[in-house]
Amino acid sequence: MPNSIPLASDDESHLVFDGYRSPARNEFRRGQWNGGIGRFQAKKTVETYLQASLVNSAYPASKVSSQATKTAFTGPASNTREMIGKICIVRVKSPPGHTDSQTVPSPLASSVATTTMTNNTNRSPVHPGTDPQDSIAPVETERVDVARRPEESSAAPCANMGESTRNALEAWGYAIGSDRVITDREILERHGRSAIDSRHRAGALLRPRFADEVAEIVRIAARFQVPVHPISTGRNWGYGAASPSVEGGVVLDLSSLQAVRFVDRDLGLVEVEPGVTQGMLYQFLLTQDDRWMTPVHGGGPDCSILGNALERGYGLTPTADHFAALTSIEAVLADGSNYRSAFHALDAPLIGSAHRWGIGPYVEGLFSQGNFGVVTKATFALQRRPQHTEAFFIRLKDDTALEAMVESLRTVLSSLSASVTGVNLMNDRRVLSMSRPYPIDDVPEGAVISDQQCAAMTREAGISRWTLAGILHCPSRMRRPVRRELRRLLPPQSGTPIHFNRRRLSAANSLLRFLPFRVGGIAGQLRSIDALIDLADGSPRRVALPLAYWLRGKSPTAIQPINPAHDGCGLIWYSPLVPMKGEIARSYVDMVDRVCKAHGIEPLITLTSLSDRLMDSTVPILFRPEKPGESQRAQACYEALLAGGRELGCLPYRLSHQSTGPLLADASPGHFDVITKLRQSLDPNNIISPGHLRISAY
């Protein structure tokens, strides 16, 4: 028999949902279901009320939406995969110790007395502030048993959990299904592994299947004062992955929310939920309308589009700044209420999806790298696929050429901003990590590859001191003029750029097959170029991810699933912003090289253009967690890099919730004081990701 949960306090008649959850919940909520078992008529739709009932929630009648005048629900329907169940009126008992008339689902209620409905009796109660004409009256008689506990969860809650946490877990089991509430220690340990070697372990894991369930989860969290930490797919390796913001925290895993749709196909506006990955969106666009590009980065096809945008990630497509492409959001606040962007709240969804700023203060920024709510969907403005995409490469043999190249890039990126959409500058060790196995047997414990050994390895592989890799996006007729202008703007010591498009790459691969030997690892370099062009063209590839495995002495194969945290890799990203000025770039590079070597960490440096004024540097701090002392050395290196970068005025654009202390502990009043005041207003009980980036209500 399906679950049945009471929704009201003692001696009140309320709607109760009795049945299975439907995968097509949005249609149910909009009142598009017909006939079956129970039928209700009212001046106002019971849309929101039934939505709440469907997820076993208490919802006051005063909040019932008013968009329709007739609603007929329940019973099997042709476009569902599961039976919907029955809607009826019941008389319920309050759970022990419960006095609030607007209850959340209680796992403690042991039984409920049912009543028989008739057309003339037991009308729905009238809540304060509502019109009696808006109450819901049954028109058919039905009887239902609602005394049923949910199935046991995957494991009993830990013995050391507080009563409020145990009650919250049971309530969540009723709300989303006990199979979606995970407390099994083995599952939690594996799910929460972090390449940072985090000490924060989850106390429970919630896996809702529908966006509607998120609000109910947060309402329960607020009622029982149990914080939750939302994640999208938990694949932001090197920044915290799926580990919670506090020890024993409850992780709200949104990876099952995978809806994606066009808001407007002609305008390239697409709406996604948190579980939609780069690979999913790419396949969606490939089959629906391949005029539009997926805003990808090098983490691979399994990373969340929305999660990366909210963390202000970037890539090499024309949509380089992923958060800038986000135009509107829907979110659940800490009290369970919903937030919608300004124009959406004014029932103008098309302009709300096309124009990100709305009216008044820009509130969406609070949800980026913040903990003010749980984002359940967002709209992105996609870039049209250009006619021509190619990669170009420049080799800087002399280390002293770095400053001149950085200075010239300012001019290149400002003059050719429409065509040169991204540039990476990588030092020799960074390129080496992409093309050669790590020489484990030749490097002593606690040391790095010596400068002499590095020079020999790069000479053999044909790797220069610095390598510049850039991307051109332009109309086909413009590629030759753009190439000429690029050569003119580059410094003389840079040499001539080498350009690769798909035609040239195919010819090079064909030629390589006829050679009787491999030349200097050319095959591997061509594979890297192919992956880079795919990435620039909006096709998700794992360009950066194999880096996490370098210290293992071999890279994962292209076909095997890659998860550095689950595979025991150690990775902390240090990612400061660096002004695009030659002398600052030189000071920064020297600092990173010195600090990393002092801590036995390979100095792998990349400088990526964010604009013609600013670069972001990504430095992967690689370590082996199973080796004694390596995790401590890696953390010490990270903190030393933070301090060294701060002295130069180079601060990270992104932090994990586990690495904020050294940087933010002594922040002066101003920005963070305002954030704290906002937090006190919107989440006074610290329900959502407490302590994330030191953002707290107290």
Q: What is the pLDDT of residues 632-672, one digit of tens each?
A: 999 999 999 999 999 999 999 998 766 666 666 677 678 88
Nearest CA-CA partner of 580 in 402, 416, 427: 402
Q: Of 191, 219, 253, which marks where a domain is finished?
A: 253
Where are the extended beta strands (E) located within 334-465? 338-340, 374-381, 388-396, 420-427
In this predicted structure, what is the pLDDT of residue 515? Answer: 59
Residue 593 has pLDDT above 50, yes or no: yes
pLDDT band at 695 (very low <50, low <70, confident <90, very high): low
pLDDT band at 442 (very low <50, low <70, confident <90, very high): very high
Residue pair 213/256 in contact (Cβ under 8 Å)? The answer is no
Range from 3-17, 32-46, 489-503 that averages highest in pLDDT = 489-503
Q: Helix H segments across 289-427?
A: 305-310, 342-345, 349-354, 402-415
Q: Which two tokens stand for residue 294?
A: 């997926």
Read off φ and ψ for residue 617, nearest 5 degrees.
-105, 130
Strand (E) or helix (H) holding 509 = helix 502-514
**Is the whole-model pTM more than 0.85?**
no
Least confident of 238-242, 389-393, 493-497: 238-242
404/537 same-domain check: yes
Residue 467 has pLDDT above 90, yes or no: yes
In this predicted structure, what is the pLDDT of residue 66? Answer: 30
In this predicted structure, what is the pLDDT of residue 659? Answer: 63
SS3 content of the chain, % helix, strand, coil (to 5): 35, 20, 50
220/282 same-domain check: no
In this predicted structure, what is the pLDDT of residue 131? Answer: 36
Nearest CA-CA partner of 609 in 579, 584, 583: 579
Residue 656 lies in a domain: no
DSSP 4: B
Q: Of 335, 357, 381, which marks where a domain is finished?
A: 381
Residue 65 has pLDDT above 70, yes or no: no
Residue 565 lies in a domain: yes
Residue 261 has pLDDT above 50, yes or no: yes
Residue 47 lies in a domain: yes
196/338 same-domain check: no
Q: What is the pLDDT of residues 134-149, one digit of tens each?
A: 333 332 323 223 223 3
Residue 507 lies in a domain: yes
Residue 155 lies in a domain: no
439/507 same-domain check: yes
Segment 256-274 shows an average pLDDT of: 97
Task: Read off the CATH number of the domain in which 204 is found.
Answer: 3.30.43.10
Residue pair 80/21 in contact (Cβ under 8 Å)? The answer is no
Q: 450-484 burial, b for 16+ CB within 10 Å, e for fewer?
A: eeeebeebbeebebbbbbbbbbbbbeeebbeebbe
475/603 same-domain check: yes
pLDDT band at 316 (very low <50, low <70, confident <90, very high): confident
pLDDT band at 242 (very low <50, low <70, confident <90, very high): confident
Q: Which two tokens stand for residue 234?
A: 């938990």
Q: How many CB atoms lie within 10 A of CB 605?
A: 22
Q: Of 362, 381, 400, which marks where a domain is finished?
A: 381
Residue pair 224/170 in contact (Cβ under 8 Å)? The answer is no
169/266 same-domain check: no
244/297 same-domain check: no
Task: Read off the CATH number of the domain in which 325 is found.
Answer: 3.30.465.10
Residue 655 lies in a domain: no
Structural domain boundaries enclosing 22: 1-149
Range from 62-76, 162-176, 551-565 that averages highest in pLDDT = 162-176
**3-class state of residue 70 by DSSP:** strand
Segment 670-688 shows an average pLDDT of: 89
Q: How far apart are CA 154 and CA 265, in angstroms?
A: 42
Q: How far apart are CA 126 and CA 107, in angstroms?
A: 26
Number of domains in the chain: 5
Q: Can you list the pairs that 333-338 forms with residues at least 24 positions away whose Cβ atoms lie under 8 Å?
A: 333/218, 333/372, 333/373, 333/682, 333/683, 334/218, 334/222, 334/372, 334/373, 334/682, 334/683, 334/685, 334/687, 334/688, 335/218, 335/219, 335/222, 336/215, 336/216, 336/218, 336/219, 336/222, 337/215, 338/215
Residue 156 lies in a domain: no
Q: What is the pLDDT of residues 153-199, one digit of tens each?
A: 444 444 456 889 999 999 999 999 999 999 998 888 887 777 776 66
Task: Read off the CATH number of the domain in which 507 is found.
Answer: 3.40.462.10
DSSP assignments along 328-349, one per residue:
EEEEE-TTS-EEE-HHHHTT-H
Nearest CA-CA partner of 157 in 135, 178, 126: 178
Residue pair 108/150 in contact (Cβ under 8 Å)? The answer is no
Cα–chain center distance at 457: 38
In this predicted structure, what is the pLDDT of residue 337? Answer: 95
235 CB contacts (<8 Å, ≥6 apart)? Answer: 241, 299, 300, 302, 303, 304, 307, 563
212/237 same-domain check: yes
555/481 same-domain check: yes
124/98 same-domain check: yes
Q: How far apart are CA 306 and CA 301, in angstroms?
A: 13
Nearest CA-CA partner of 92 in 63, 42, 56: 56
In this predicted structure, what is the pLDDT of residue 192? Answer: 74
pLDDT band at 514 (very low <50, low <70, confident <90, very high): low
367/409 same-domain check: no
Range from 60-64, 372-376, 566-570 that averages highest in pLDDT = 372-376
Q: Which two tokens stand for residue 378?
A: 């967002």
Residue pair 87/124 in contact (Cβ under 8 Å)? The answer is no
Residue 354 lies in a domain: yes
Distances in Å between the Cα of 526 and the Cα atoms of 69, 355, 498 are: 64, 40, 13
Q: What is the pLDDT of residues 77-111, one digit of tens each?
A: 333 223 233 333 222 233 333 333 333 333 322 22
Query: Which residue in this structure is represented by tokens 């009290």?
Result: 335
407/527 same-domain check: yes
Segment 410-430 shows an average pLDDT of: 94
